[in-house]
Amino acid sequence: MPLALAEKQLEVIMTDIQDNRNALPTGYRLNDYQIQKVLGDGGFGITYLANDTQLNAPVAIKEYLPNEIAVREGNSTVQPKSQKDTENFAWGLERFLEEAHILAQFKHPNIVRVLRFFQANNTAYIVMEYEQGQSLANLIKDGETATENEITRILPPLLDGLAVVHNAGYLHRDIKPANIYLRTADNSPVLISRTQRRLFASRH
C-alpha cells in the first residue's frame, strides 16, 4: 500500500476514534432519554438515536459539540478547549438554540418535527422525531435512479415544506440528497439534517 494512502487511512481511523470518544456513551441517561447509538456526526456536533423513556419511543437528538473548539470531559460535560475558545463556543451555542426555536415553529409533514430542546452538560440538545427510512443520497450511491413519476411525487411536498420556511422569513441552507429521507412506512419525503451545520438564515 502506498505510504500516502496508508497515512490517509490512519487519519480517518484516528478521526473516528476521536469522534467516538466525544460521543455520549450507549445507555447514557439524558433527562428523559437514553442514548442508544450515534446516527451522524459533523464539525459542529453529534446526532444520536435515543429512547424516550416516558413514551418508550425512538427519537433523534442533536447535540451541540463543535469539535474544533470544544471537547467532552468525562462522560458528559462539554467544555471549550481553551479560554480563547470560550467566546466562540458561547456564540455557537446561542445560534444552535436559536435554530432549534426556528425549527420548532414548523409543523409540516415533510419537515422533521422538533419535540423539545434544552440545555444540559454545559451544551444544548434538540430532540426530534426519529424518521425511519433511507436518504436520497444512499439511493443514488446504490446506483438506483428516480423515474419521472418518482420525482414528481417527491418534489411537490418538499417544495410545499420549503414554502412554509420561506413564508416565515427564512431560507433553508442545507438542501441536498443526504438530507432528503424517504420514509419506510409510505415512501413519503421529509427534510432532515443529521449534520450540525446551521440550517436556516433570515431572508431579511
Which residues have a catalytic role annotated?
174
Q: Which residues are paired to 171 by β-bridges?
A: 201
CA atoms of 83 and 67, how far apart (whole Å): 15
The residue assigned the cell 419511543 is 57
b/e map of 81-105 (b: 16 or more CB within 10 Å)? eeeebeeebeebbeebbebbebbee
Cα 199–Cα 195–Cα 109 angle in degrees, nearest 5: 60
| Strand, helix or coil for residue 106 | coil
